[in-house]
Amino acid sequence: MVPQPFVNAFDRLRRRCQPQRDNAPDAALYWEALSDLPIDALDEAALQLARAQKYFPTVSEWATTARALDNIRNLPTQQRCKECAGRGVFMVQYRSGEPFDIAVCACKAGRLYRALGNGVLPLLKQQLKLSDEHRIHWSEWFDGDDA
């Protein structure tokens, strides 16, 4: 049984993205592969993916985005910040459909990471369990990218 909140997120994503070719994706198949992830992370990832991608995401794209959002959410919060919600890092999405990157915020929360220097970047990447297709850097490093 596929839970209704997932069906809702799935349907919203399907309406926002063009289905991949003629194959309408199957919510039950996706749920089978994604059910270990928190539903609110899947829901937020669906919105992020719909903004970034033209086509319906693969299971792997949805899982990777939801897992990173969930990991970001589990970072300790410092201060309110519009960009990073006080977590010091935020996701950078690309309209081109390129894999997302992670930026270290310029706010007070991000400065705690910045104070540790470049060496903190691989550690953060490890903590967020990012694969090599995702980059992590200071937010200004991404300026000018199609974010």
Burial class (CB in 10 A: 0-12, 13-18, 19+), 120: middle
- Only one residue has tokens 């992370």, namely 41
Told to check if 84 binds Zn ion by CB under 5 A, we report yes
For residue 123, the minimal CB distance to Zn ion (Å) is: 18
Binds Zn ion (CB under 5 A): choice among 16, 59, 73, 83: 83
**DSSP-based three-state secondary structure for 101:** strand
| Rounded distance between C-alpha atoms, residue 103 and residue 108, angstroms | 14
- 101-104 and 136-138: which strand pairing? parallel
| Rounded distance between C-alpha atoms, residue 54 and residue 36, angstroms | 26
Q: What amino acid occupies position 122?
A: P
For residue 37, the minimal CB distance to Zn ion (Å) is: 25
- Judged by beta carbon, residue 34 or residue 104, the one nearer Zn ion is 104
- Judged by beta carbon, residue 87 or residue 135, the one nearer Zn ion is 87
Measuring CA to CA, which residue among 80, 84, 45 is closest to residue 65?
Answer: 45
Q: How many residues bind to Zn ion according to rule CB under 5 A?
A: 5
| Rounded distance between C-alpha atoms, residue 101 and residue 113, angstroms | 17
| Polymer length of the chain | 147
Told to check if 92 binds Zn ion by CB under 5 A, we report no
Q: Which of residues 102-141 bind Zn ion (CB under 5 A)?
A: 105, 107
Told to check if 91 binds Zn ion by CB under 5 A, we report no
- Judged by beta carbon, residue 13 or residue 107, the one nearer Zn ion is 107
- Judged by beta carbon, residue 2 or residue 106, the one nearer Zn ion is 106
For residue 8, the minimal CB distance to Zn ion (Å) is: 30
Told to check if 81 binds Zn ion by CB under 5 A, we report yes
User: Which residues lie near Zn ion (CB under 5 A)?
Assistant: 81, 83-84, 105, 107
